[in-house]
Amino acid sequence: MIGFVQLLDRRDAGRPGHVRPEGEEAELGYMFLPQVWGHGYAAEACAAALDWFTGVLPDEPVVLCTQTANGRAMRLAARLGFTEVALFEEYGADQWFGVWSSAMPAGHSA
Ligand SMILES: CC(C)(COP(=O)(O)OP(=O)(O)OC[C@H]1O[C@@H](n2cnc3c(N)ncnc32)[C@H](O)[C@@H]1OP(=O)(O)O)[C@@H](O)C(=O)NCCC(=O)NCCS
């Protein structure tokens, strides 16, 4: 195992960052071992997960939150086609919050 992609967790309505009033959006998360960064594995795995998600819940948006200081995670989000919704502070750090929709194919920013 070199890492994981998580997509079925729902974003708690009590946290900042939402794209629908009721919250509980599907949220993408990813974590890979440092030894395998820089090969596109995370991008390939996330794109496959989003592709699967489109078939299962085609009308639902997917959200993503990462620290603005996390350059790799920010570049991956952009590469996947996530677009910025909000910037806010949480856990004592600046956070970037974005959304992806199946109407916007991976790799195409709005
Ligand atoms: C976030 C994380 C998954 C990104 O990993 P990553 O390997 O940089 O991501 P990607 O799979 O998108 O790989 C992209 C890089 O591989 C390079 N690459 C090399 N060969 C490639 C190929 N065949 N195809 C695509 N990309 C390739 C790209 O140029 C890019 O490099 P760059 O970012 O320097 O421009 C990783 O840094 C990580 O696990 N971090 C710790 C956990 C974390 O912060 N998670 C997010 C919390 S919200």
Ligand 1 centre and the CA of 29: distance in Å? 13
pLDDT recorded at residue 109 = 46
Strand duo 62-67 + 29-32: pairing: unpaired
pLDDT recorded at residue 110 = 44
* Domains assigned to the chain: 3-100 (3.40.630.30)
Burial of 106 (0-12, 13-18, 19+ CB in 10 A): middle
Asked if residue 16 lies in contact with residue 88, where contact means CB atoms within 8 angstroms, the answer is yes
Burial of 63 (0-12, 13-18, 19+ CB in 10 A): buried
Q: Could you read off the pLDDT tens digit of each residue along the chain, which spans 110 residues?
A: 999 999 989 999 999 999 999 999 999 999 999 999 999 999 999 999 999 999 999 999 999 999 999 999 999 999 999 999 999 999 999 999 999 998 765 555 44
CB of 69 within 6 A of ligand 1: the answer is no
- 107/104 Cα distance (integer angstroms): 8
pLDDT recorded at residue 106 = 53
- Which residue among 11, 76, 95, 97 is best mutated to probe the pocket of ligand 1, counting the most ligand atoms within 8 A of its Cβ? 76
pTM confidence score: 0.93
Q: Which ligand 1 atom is nearest residue 44's CA?
A: 11
